[in-house]
């Protein structure tokens, strides 16, 4: 039996995934060692391999088949636009992709004005404004602390993730429009889905039982 390889988005996503996997009898003891600098972890008995990657790289590993399965946020899947199968909503990491800004920017959205949109997700933002709203906007790519942009006058609005809403609140910003709901998803390489169908289908079935 060959190894089934999982790419997990680093951080909370990976930790929650491993907790979920433990519930269906999939463990990886060596991955729990926080001081370890190892990048890849093996469960010999189950013939499974796990590695941690930066979230946006997970769909890349899965498309090329370097990982059979990936666990990553729906935001990253949408932004990266890779060829893969999205097979399952894992039900955790729930949040929303939103257009946010000061209340005063709500008018600009209503009247299809040419506005600047700062975001870590240029593809999602472009798709939303150009294809869904038919509004011409200038997209400005940032890498973090997106909420700063409308405060310091870089953009009129932002497209960003809202979880509890406290970052917005503490900075005097509001959700102006919702783009889509988000959560952690399982993605599968298109060839692996055929070649390892039995093992992957069983994994999905087992996970469904503990998630439902």
Rule CB under 6 A: which residues touch ligand PRP? Answer: 120, 144-147, 160-167
Chain-centroid distance, C-alpha 188 = 14
Query: 14: closest CA among 184, 203, 200?
Result: 184
How many C-beta atoms lie closer than 10 Å to residue 9's C-beta? 23
Token pair, residue 95, equals 């949040």
Q: What are phi and psi of 50, to 5 degrees?
A: -130, 140
Least distance CB 19 / ligand PRP (angstroms): 20
Least distance CB 162 / ligand PRP (angstroms): 5
Asked if 210 contacts 24 with a C-beta cutoff of 8 angstroms, the reply is yes
**For residues 94 and 194, which CB has a smaller minimum distance to ligand PRP in the complex?**
94
**For residues 135 and 171, which CB has a smaller minimum distance to ligand PRP in the complex?**
171
**For residues 65 and 165, which CB has a smaller minimum distance to ligand PRP in the complex?**
165
**For residues 80 and 160, which CB has a smaller minimum distance to ligand PRP in the complex?**
160
Least distance CB 148 / ligand PRP (angstroms): 9
Asked if 13 contacts 184 with a C-beta cutoff of 8 angstroms, the reply is yes
> CB nearest ligand PRP: which residue?
144
């Amino acid at each position: 039996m060959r190894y089934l390889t999982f790419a997990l988005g680093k951080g909370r996503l990976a930790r929650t995934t491993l907790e979920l996997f433990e519930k269906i009898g999939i463990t990886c003891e060596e991955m729990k060692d926080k001081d370890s600098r190892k990048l890849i972890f093996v469960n010999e008995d189950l013939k499974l391999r796990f590695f941690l990657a930066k979230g946006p790289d997970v769909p890349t590993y899965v498309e090329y088949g370097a990982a059979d399965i990936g666990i990553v946020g729906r935001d990253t899947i949408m932004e990266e636009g890779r060829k893969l199968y999205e097979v399952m909503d894992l039900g955790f990491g729930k949040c929303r992709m939103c257009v946010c800004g000061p209340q005063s920017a709500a008018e600009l959205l209503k009247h299809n004005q040419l506005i600047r949109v700062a975001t870590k997700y240029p593809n999602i933002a472009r798709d939303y404004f150009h294809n869904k709203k038919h509004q011409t906007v200038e997209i400005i790519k940032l890498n973090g602390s997106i909420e700063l942009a409308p405060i310091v006058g870089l953009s009129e609005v932002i497209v960003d993730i809202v979880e509890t809403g406290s970052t917005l609140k503490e900075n005097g910003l509001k959700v102006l429009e919702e783009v889509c709901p988000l959560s952690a998803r399982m993605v599968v390489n298109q060839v692996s889905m055929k070649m390892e169908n039995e093992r992957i289908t069983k994994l999905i079935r087992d996970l469904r039982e503990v998630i439902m």
